[in-house]
Chain A
């Protein structure tokens, strides 16, 4: 009886030694060793407020979805209709929202009726009420009054159409002192209700920093080889324009000054990689998706000098964090299928 119990224990639990050997970073180390050490609390508002992030992006010339306008007070709510008149599709989101709450996506409209990607139609009054809710803080952290952002719609790259159920797949890159250290793509599933949240059942796909090829897929922290809804092989996934994407992510370091940063990006069909939002407290699930701990990579970066230009940092990361040597040799060339 004791042995069967021990068996069950060892199937589900591991030892600190084994995790250390794999270089896994735990919550405590992330909080003390990286977030509070490299992220100045003064700079948090730059990333917690999407409006500030957006303005910074414009200032630094980083690609992000086109900003149509903002609504800051209730009496401006009616102006939204005029704002979006010349735009076929648009997105309304709260500046201080978290976890994708309060985001309204409109694919096309005729000025009175607005059509969501699901095909559902809402009226002009519905849309204005949504904006008004955002302003009164319904979706913001702690319910504080908020600002609504109106952005152009991203037409996401068809390369990923078979890897996603409803939602837009986004790419998360952890940027440490300006170096991209680890990346993953989050694929929404039926279980996650179209949301790209890993703990709600989205699939996390680890991406090779060297090439942008998928290295591993996980759902609910357990290995996954095909998308559960579309059945598409996860290992056939490769992110195009990988170098541009990594440079976009790395550039966020100069822009915000935050040393340990989670950058969330999407691929637009016409404009390529675009920065969606930044996170000053990125989670640790990216290690699960990559099947590898962050620690060795972070320690290597900690030994690098400051003041290295973006392109060199990206090249350094692609060289040292690549899974296979061929990929390094083929940087910038067509990917080799496995």
Chain B
């Protein structure tokens, strides 16, 4: 190919890329920088179940305006099903129905939530009264004792709830607590005990919002009220009545920690079940989410634009796939970092694009945990691999053994980390195991052939590249640009094409060839 054709191609790519980017900025009002705008979450709930052949009714709890979040738009997708939104108590629900269905079914509900500090929560219209609870024979005394103990150490409903949960703490479980746990699920047990003690409370479902997550599930939270209505009937709260206090707190039924994490969205806040399916089995609901930074008005407009027939942008894909693309679109940035470091700096790495995959793992694990995990796995792997090399195995067999070893190391470290209460250690499973195995294999051969110094050099080079790639890929500005402006991918490509043509010196060669410029 002649030089002219090459530069024409580069120029063309550059032009189209910049053009697409500018078009998206101008016609869709997508801002260049993240931050100044409001954060908007697109959350998709996927309801899956197996229909048994008869009529089906599926009802899903829907989120409402609440502290920190307000609902912008919502959509559903469900072929063949009738749909109605139910606004009556308890809480808002979507109900899908069909006369006849068999086999596995998928229903989608998508909501756009605006992250805002001044969202007005829907008023609590009634306080749930403590329910009458019945206990089997040995459990009633155990429950009574646990409740007495918590009551002694507490001053009000909130402290009572906390003290109660503390007794079920893994380390401090008493005999009573252990007995009760054999019979009941923990969140449900807490609710029963609170009700038994006459404290007004209910179980609600919260979703942790994290950008780009897929297949998430909701977690149970205890909502404990300050005031307890008398009698066994739920009390209608009159907005005008000053004397009834609707203060409440959220308490984690597992840890007893009080207070709502910042990124928690209460999907179901009325104590009702998340999902009810009649005429189906194996029902479950999972969530995917994505965060945008844009003016709220634009979020709505984009939503409308997505419905156009001729919209081929990836922003018209289902949220689950979009979340996937958010990561995929970052890979070219990692590749660019690798090209820069190899062509311009001359850094040696073990495996050309291995650092990019490690950097992707760092995004999941956070940098420090990732670095420690990587070093632990590779170091342990090298020790074990040095024994394997004495066994004189064929290559494929040897690498397969290394893969199994790496998986074993990862499992052992996960268990150890969990035992020592280091939950961050569990993210070690995000490392790409096959890639790590090849890294161990390559490093080991390098060690045998060139000595430990070369291993340190290439290993250090790989890690440095991975860290730089991580910093570039994890930069909020980069994330914003790559996901919102697909045209930039073409610009990146043009840039890398140009770099592939660079015949000048590498930075490290300025040191290597220094003696040539002397004498």
- Given the known inter-chain contacts A15-B510, A27-B506, A29-B503, please indicate yes or no for A143 contacting B395, CB distance below 8 A: yes
Q: Tell me which residues from 4 to 26 in chain A have a Cβ below 8 Å from any Cβ of chain B.
A: 12-16, 18-19, 21-22, 24, 26
Q: Are A32 and B505 in contact (CB under 8 A)?
A: no
What residue in chain B is nearest A222 (Cβ atoms)? B515
A99 part of interface (Cβ distance < 8 Å): yes
For the complex formed, measure the closest distance between the CB of A98 and the CB atoms of chain B, giving whole angstroms. 10
Q: Which segment, of A109-117, A151-159, A266-274, A288-296, faces chain B?
A: A288-296
Q: Are A223 and B515 in contact (CB under 8 A)?
A: yes
B137 part of interface (Cβ distance < 8 Å): no
A287 part of interface (Cβ distance < 8 Å): yes
Q: Across the interface, which residues of A come within 8 angstroms of B505, CB to CB?
A: 16, 19, 24, 26, 28
A322 part of interface (Cβ distance < 8 Å): no
Q: Across the interface, which residues of B come within 8 angstroms of A142, CB to CB?
A: 395
What residue in chain A is nearest B448 (Cβ atoms)? A101
Render A25-68 as a binary contact track against B, CB cut-off 8 A, 1 for contact.
Answer: 01111001100000000000000000000000000000000000
What residue in chain A is nearest B500 (Cβ atoms)? A32
Q: Are B516 and A292 in contact (CB under 8 A)?
A: yes
Q: Are A13 and B516 in contact (CB under 8 A)?
A: no
Q: Are B516 and A24 in contact (CB under 8 A)?
A: yes
Interface size class of B (residues with CB under 8 A): 20 to 34
A218 part of interface (Cβ distance < 8 Å): yes
What residue in chain A is nearest B399 (Cβ atoms)? A143
* B504 in complex: contacting residue of A14, A26, A288, CB < 8 Å: A26
- Given the known inter-chain contacts A99-B449, A136-B394, please indicate yes or no for A16 contacting B503, CB distance below 8 A: no
Q: Across the interface, which residues of A come within 8 angstroms of B282, CB to CB?
A: none
Q: Are A22 and B517 in contact (CB under 8 A)?
A: yes
* B516 in complex: contacting residue of A99, A133, A137, A288, CB < 8 Å: A288
- Given the known inter-chain contacts A28-B343, A101-B449, please indicate yes or no for A221 contacting B392, CB distance below 8 A: no
Q: Are A288 and B506 in contact (CB under 8 A)?
A: no
Q: Tell me which residues from 116 to 161 in chain A have a Cβ below 8 Å from any Cβ of chain B.
A: 133, 136-138, 142-143
| A26 to B503 CA separation, bound complex (whole angstroms) | 8
Q: Across the interface, which residues of B come within 8 angstroms of A29, CB to CB?
A: 503-504
Q: Are A32 and B503 in contact (CB under 8 A)?
A: yes
What residue in chain A is nearest B502 (Cβ atoms)? A28
B509 part of interface (Cβ distance < 8 Å): yes
B513 part of interface (Cβ distance < 8 Å): yes
| A291 to B515 CA separation, bound complex (whole angstroms) | 8
Q: Across the interface, which residues of A come within 8 angstroms of B504, CB to CB?
A: 16, 26, 28-29
| A142 to B501 CA separation, bound complex (whole angstroms) | 28
| A287 to B515 CA separation, bound complex (whole angstroms) | 10
Q: Across the interface, which residues of B come within 8 angstroms of A136, CB to CB?
A: 394
- Given the known inter-chain contacts A14-B510, A19-B509, please indicate yes or no for A32 contacting B501, CB distance below 8 A: yes
For the complex formed, measure the closest distance between the CB of A195 and the CB atoms of chain B, giving whole angstroms. 11
B514 part of interface (Cβ distance < 8 Å): yes
* A287 in complex: contacting residue of B343, B450, B506, B513, CB < 8 Å: B513
B511 part of interface (Cβ distance < 8 Å): yes
Q: Tell me which residues from 186 to 219 in chain A have a Cβ below 8 Å from any Cβ of chain B.
A: 199-200, 218
| A27 to B509 CA separation, bound complex (whole angstroms) | 8
Interface core residue of B449, B506, B513, B515 (most chain A CB under 10 Å): B513
- Given the known inter-chain contacts A28-B503, A28-B504, A99-B449, please indicate yes or no for A287 contacting B509, CB distance below 8 A: no
Q: Across the interface, which residues of A come within 8 angstroms of B346, CB to CB?
A: 27
What residue in chain A is nearest B445 (Cβ atoms)? A143
| A33 to B504 CA separation, bound complex (whole angstroms) | 11
B308 part of interface (Cβ distance < 8 Å): no
B512 part of interface (Cβ distance < 8 Å): yes
| A101 to B445 CA separation, bound complex (whole angstroms) | 12
Q: Are B517 and A19 in contact (CB under 8 A)?
A: yes
Q: Are B515 and A18 in contact (CB under 8 A)?
A: no
Q: Across the interface, which residues of A come within 8 angstroms of B396, CB to CB?
A: 143
Q: Are B516 and A19 in contact (CB under 8 A)?
A: yes
Q: Are B394 and A137 in contact (CB under 8 A)?
A: yes
* B514 in complex: contacting residue of A12, A99, A133, A137, CB < 8 Å: A12
| A27 to B516 CA separation, bound complex (whole angstroms) | 15
Q: Are B511 and A13 in contact (CB under 8 A)?
A: yes
| A296 to B499 CA separation, bound complex (whole angstroms) | 24
Q: Are A14 and B517 in contact (CB under 8 A)?
A: yes
| A13 to B512 CA separation, bound complex (whole angstroms) | 8
Q: Are A13 and B449 in contact (CB under 8 A)?
A: no
B519 part of interface (Cβ distance < 8 Å): yes
- Given the known inter-chain contacts A22-B517, A101-B449, A293-B516, please indicate yes or no for A33 contacting B511, CB distance below 8 A: no
| A24 to B513 CA separation, bound complex (whole angstroms) | 8
For the complex formed, measure the closest distance between the CB of B480 and the CB atoms of chain A, giving whole angstroms. 33
Q: Are A288 and B395 in contact (CB under 8 A)?
A: no
Q: Across the interface, which residues of B come within 8 angstroms of A287, CB to CB?
A: 513, 516
Q: Across the interface, which residues of A come within 8 angstroms of B516, CB to CB?
A: 19, 22, 24, 287-288, 291-293
Q: Across the interface, which residues of B come within 8 angstroms of A288, CB to CB?
A: 513, 515-516
Q: Across the interface, which residues of B come within 8 angstroms of A19, CB to CB?
A: 505, 509-510, 513, 516-517
For the complex formed, measure the closest distance between the CB of B391 and the CB atoms of chain A, giving whole angstroms. 12
Q: Across the interface, which residues of B come within 8 angstroms of A14, CB to CB?
A: 510-511, 513-514, 517
Q: Across the interface, which residues of A come within 8 angstroms of B510, CB to CB?
A: 13-16, 19
Q: Across the interface, which residues of B come within 8 angstroms of A27, CB to CB?
A: 346, 506, 509
What residue in chain B is nearest A143 (Cβ atoms)? B395
Q: Tell me which residues from 462 to 519 in chain B have a Cβ below 8 Å from any Cβ of chain A.
A: 501-506, 509-517, 519
Closest CB pairs A-B (n = 10):
A143-B395, A29-B503, A26-B505, A18-B517, A14-B514, A14-B517, A26-B509, A16-B505, A28-B503, A13-B510
Query: Told that A16-B510, A19-B516 touch, could you supply 12 new A-B pairs with CB distance under 8 A?
Result: A12-B514, A13-B511, A14-B510, A24-B513, A28-B502, A32-B503, A99-B449, A136-B394, A142-B395, A200-B450, A221-B515, A288-B513
Interface residues, chain B, with chain A CB atoms under 8 Å away? 343, 346, 392, 394-396, 449-450, 501-506, 509-517, 519
Interface residues, chain A, with chain B CB atoms under 8 Å away? 12-16, 18-19, 21-22, 24, 26-29, 32-33, 99, 101, 133, 136-138, 142-143, 199-200, 218, 221-223, 287-288, 291-293
Between-chain CB contacts (< 8 Å), 8 pairs: A13-B510, A13-B514, A14-B517, A16-B505, A22-B513, A143-B395, A199-B450, A223-B515
